[in-house]
Structure 1
Amino acid sequence: MVDEDRLLDCLEAIRLNLPDAFNEAVDVVRQKESLLLQAEEYAQDIIEAAQQRAAEILDEMGIIRQAELEASHIRASVQQECEQIQQATLSEIEQMRQKSHQDIEQLRKMAMEECEDIQDGADEYADGVLSNIEQQLNDMLRVIRNGRQRLQNEPTKVTPPQGTANPPKKKA
């Protein structure tokens, strides 16, 4: 037998703890998006700065080419940083998901162990009650046997009712 209230309390605790883990994961994703936006803005600022610089020295073709190469290099560097940040964020989210899964599994195991303990306790209690009833029934059976034995060992004296000639016969 399972204590329904206790099981419901365990399930409620699991339900209340899960949103925290998911909220943390959502926060990590939001932080990742914020970092990506900042990186993109940073890259855009660098690109705009490079374009402005290139516009100032349009007459010098070598400098313009150098600026384009530099902007391309910076763009590639920023893109690489963004990818690294994204990978780190995804890794953190996966770790949090695995931890949440482990926590849920641990809570489930604890709930199952507690249910088994409750079941074992209920079985022991039922066995004790049945043993007690068995003892009482044995005591009653002994009293009944003793009473019957006394009745069979003692002759019964029955006085015939008035007006009858034959006394009732004793049953075996």
Structure 2
Amino acid sequence: MVVVVREAFGRKLEFEDIYNHLTLPDEVHLLKIGAGKEIVAMRGYSRRVLSGLQSLILEGAAILPEMQGNGVYGKMLEQAHEGESVLCLRTQNPRLYAAFEKFCDKVYPGFHDTPRAVREIQKAFAEYLGCDADENGIVREYYGGLFYGEEPYHERISPLFMERLKMDLHKGDAVLVLGVKEVEEHTCQPIEE
């Protein structure tokens, strides 16, 4: 698993960072393929109630470079999703945002305005992570620098990150992304606390 995480991020992450990716989430899913059942991807998830809504929090992902871009992320997300109407992601990777966007019906922040209700959920997500986010959901210097060996790029999403959201990946900025998934009405009802 250490090899998968290091190759996915393109740099030598410390063992403690990898350990936290595997132990902090409530659930960790591994994808194994081939005769030897080699691990090619991992994904960590937690489930929480944020602003009264059942939410799936995507805690961490690592997919071997040769497996990226083949729908692996979406398949793993589909397997983890249990009808939550809100999905949450913290990232500085525009390719991950693009994959997340394919699964959700709406994603914020984006190329459109973020509704006030979504900002409230985003605020609750930031509190869960123990950080402060600006009005666009950006956590400045969250990672302390670029989290990848090379700056990740996506032709449509990178301009969103750099121009509209004013992210500086080299300073470690992260975006708190909220995805809305339309599900059956009874699963979207607020939960009494």
| TM-score, structure 2 as length reference | 0.16
Q: Which protein has the bigger helix share?
A: 1
| TM-score, structure 1 as length reference | 0.18
Q: Which protein has the bigger strand share?
A: 2
Q: Which has the higher contact order (CA 8 A, sep 6+)?
A: 1
